[in-house]
């Protein structure tokens, strides 16, 4: 994308035209705004620019969000609103305009948007997440209530002779739809802290980002899909991708090899392992004499690999074997077929007085944040899930 040089990228009165030309100019202004937005490092700018460039919606909603939440006026307005307990009367004229513009992008539940450079979705993408499922999955943007994609269990080709009609290799296409769900986070603090703490806005954003990461790390593995994202393990349970252990209620080295061998070759090249860290510990105990050759790379100081493929941790997965029930302990597959749909924009609402059990104030206030995200497997055939049962 070519970024047009503009003196004030947040001044959209300069934009003329309609249709594709208008959208192109909006995105150009948004990219210029990202370059100039305050208190952001290069990683944050890179991620924000990528979100703008990937936005294929007709009215460029991501560009609108960027322009509304990255300006110096809005950054000052946000900080003042945090320090003044959500009181808009402390804002200057320009800050009021910036605040109202951002408010126009929120839903009917009120609240106001976190500046782009403090948004947990941007921060976690730029600086990394301890949620390892997010690290290896396909992450997309959702601008509405759901994300709709196109997928197939596989595209087929054929070798044909000269002047021979091409065979019908067309795949069966699916359009998976992943709804986004509302994650709510509550940050409580005393009135004294609100007045005394320097950098309160940045601290609140970091606390929200951390809790978001914690909740998502569970949901992306074992989320039910009802009122929350659907986790990769939940999506695979009961499908043809489940491989049962060779011996009832027994987890053995052969099960690891069987899972590896059962995954179709087309997905094996980009495949990764996922399990609770205690399960990996059990697998290491299989290989005490080196005969199973499961962890050969560890001695070479390289990143941990299981049978030559990278392994990742999901603490929400089963960590032990319980006799007489299903134990989904190990997943293997191409996680680009597990999609995480992030809806950009974190909204905050200020609750000025918290009450005690007798209905009287306790000298505390709180910020109520909500974020929207969804996830699901779009091609179960790209995975295998071991069930020790």
pLDDT exceeds 60 at position 234? yes
Claim to verify: residue 248 and residue 134 sit in the same structural domain = yes
Asked if the structure places residue 114 within a domain, the reply is no
CATH of the domain at 263: 3.90.1690
pLDDT average, residue stretch 346-364: 88
Rounded CA-CA distance 278/299 in Å is: 20
Please say if the pLDDT value at position 143 is more than 90: no
Provide the pLDDT for residue 339: 97
- Mean model confidence pLDDT for the chain: 87
Query: Of 5, 72, 63, which Cα lies nearest the Cα of 32?
Result: 5
What is the rounded CA–CA span in Å between residue 176 and residue 19?
A: 28
Lowest mean pLDDT among 38-47, 190-199, 257-266: 190-199
Residue 257 lies in a domain: yes
Are 381 and 256 found together in one domain? yes
State whether 58 and 127 are in the same domain. Answer: no
In a domain, 351, yes or no: yes
| Residue 2 clears pLDDT 70, i.e. is over it | no
The pLDDT confidence band at residue 193, using thresholds 50, 70 and 90, is: confident
Question: What pLDDT score does 20 carry?
Answer: 82
pLDDT of residue 169: 64
pTM: 0.84
Any idea which of 83-92, 174-183, 206-215, 267-276 has the lowest mean pLDDT?
83-92
Number of domains in the chain: 2
Same structural domain, 97 and 126: no
- Is 346 a domain residue? yes
pLDDT: which is higher, 239 or 200: 239
**Pair (33, 62) in one structural domain:** yes
* 83 shares its domain with 196: no
Contact 85, 52 (CB under 8 A): no
> Do 20 and 97 reside in the same domain of the chain?
yes
Which of 204-208, 214-218, 288-292, 320-324 is the least confident region?
Answer: 288-292
158 belongs to a structural domain: no
Dihedral class, residue 33 (left if φ above 0, else alpha if ψ from -120 to 50, else beta): alpha
The pLDDT of residue 200: 74
- Is 88 found in the same domain as 126? no
The last residue of a domain, from among 55, 82, 107: 107
Q: Is residue 30 in some structural domain?
A: yes
Say which residue the tokens 């690891």 belong to.
256
The average pLDDT across 380-388 equals 98
Give the per-residue SS3 of the chain.
CCCCCCCCCCCHHHCCCCHHHHHHHHHHHHHHHHHHCCCCCHHHHHHHHHHHHHCCCCCCHHHHHHHHHCCHHHHHHHHHHHHCCCCHHHCCHHHHHHHHHHHCCCCCCCCEECCHHHCHHHHHHHHCCCCHHHHHCEEEECCCCEEECCEECCCCCCCCCCCCCCCCCCCCEECCEEECEEEEEEEEEEHHHHHHCCCHHHHHHHHHHHHHHHHHHHHHHHCECCCCCECHHHHHCCCCCEEECCECCECCHHHHHHHHHHCCHHHHCCCEEEECHHHHHHHHHHCCCCCCCCCHHHHHCCCCEECCEEEEECCCCCCCCCCCCCCEEEEEECHHHEEEEEEEEEEEEEECCCECCCCCECCEEEEEEEEEEEEEECCHHHEEEEECC
* Claim to verify: residue 127 and residue 93 sit in the same structural domain: no
Q: Give the model confidence (pLDDT) of 326-346 as tens digits.
A: 999 999 999 999 999 999 888
For residues 78 and 143, state if they share a domain. Answer: no
Q: Answer yes or no: do 126 and 225 share one domain.
A: yes
Residue 49, domain extent: 12-107
Mean pLDDT computed over 91-112: 83
**Do 127 and 210 lie in a common domain?**
yes
Categorize the per-residue pLDDT at 122 as very low, low, confident or very high, splitting at 50, 70 and 90. Answer: confident
């Amino acid at each position: 994308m070519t970024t047009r040089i503009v003196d004030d990228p947040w001044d959209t009165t300069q934009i003329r035209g309609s249709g594709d030309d208008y959208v192109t100019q909006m995105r150009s202004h948004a990219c210029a705004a990202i370059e100039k937005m305050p208190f952001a490092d290069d990683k944050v700018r890179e991620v924000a620019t990528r979100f703008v460039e990937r936005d294929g919606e007709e009215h460029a909603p991501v560009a609108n969000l960027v322009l509304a939440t990255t300006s110096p006026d809005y950054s000052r307005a946000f900080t003042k609103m945090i320090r003044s307990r959500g009181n808009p009367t402390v804002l200057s004229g320009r800050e009021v305009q910036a605040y109202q513009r951002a408010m126009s992008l929120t839903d009917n539940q009120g609240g106001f948007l976190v500046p782009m450079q403090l948004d947990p979705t941007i921060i976690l993408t730029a600086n990394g997440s301890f949620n390892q499922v997010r690290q290896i999955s396909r992450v997309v943007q959702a601008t509405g209530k759901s994300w709709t994609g196109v997928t197939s269990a596989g595209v087929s080709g054929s070798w044909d002779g000269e002047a021979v009609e091409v065979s019908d290799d067309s795949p069966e296409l699916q359009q998976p739809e992943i709804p986004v769900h509302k994650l709510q986070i509550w940050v409580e603090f005393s009135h004294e802290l609100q007045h005394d703490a320097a950098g309160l806005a940045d601290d609140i954003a970091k606390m929200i980002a951390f809790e978001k990461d914690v909740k998502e790390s569970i949901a992306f593995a074992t989320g039910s899909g009802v009122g929350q994202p659907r986790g990769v393990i939940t999506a695979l349970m009961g499908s043809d991708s489940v491989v049962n252990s060779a011996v009832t209620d027994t987890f053995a080295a052969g099960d690891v090899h069987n899972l590896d061998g059962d995954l179709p070759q087309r997905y094996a090249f980009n495949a990764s392992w996922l399990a609770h860290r205690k399960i990996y510990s059990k697998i290491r105990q299989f290989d005490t004499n080196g005969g199973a050759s499961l962890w050969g790379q560890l001695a070479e100081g390289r990143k941990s690999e299981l049978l030559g493929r990278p392994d990742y941790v999901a603490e929400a997965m089963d960590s032990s074997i319980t006799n007489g029930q299903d134990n989904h302990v190990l997943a293997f597959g191409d996680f680009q077929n597990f999609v995480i749909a992030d809806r950009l924009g974190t909204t905050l609402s200020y609750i000025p007085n918290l009450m005690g059990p007798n209905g009287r104030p306790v000298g505390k206030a709180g910020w109520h944040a909500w974020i929207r995200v969804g996830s699901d497997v779009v091609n179960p055939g790209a995975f295998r899930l071991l069930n020790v049962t």
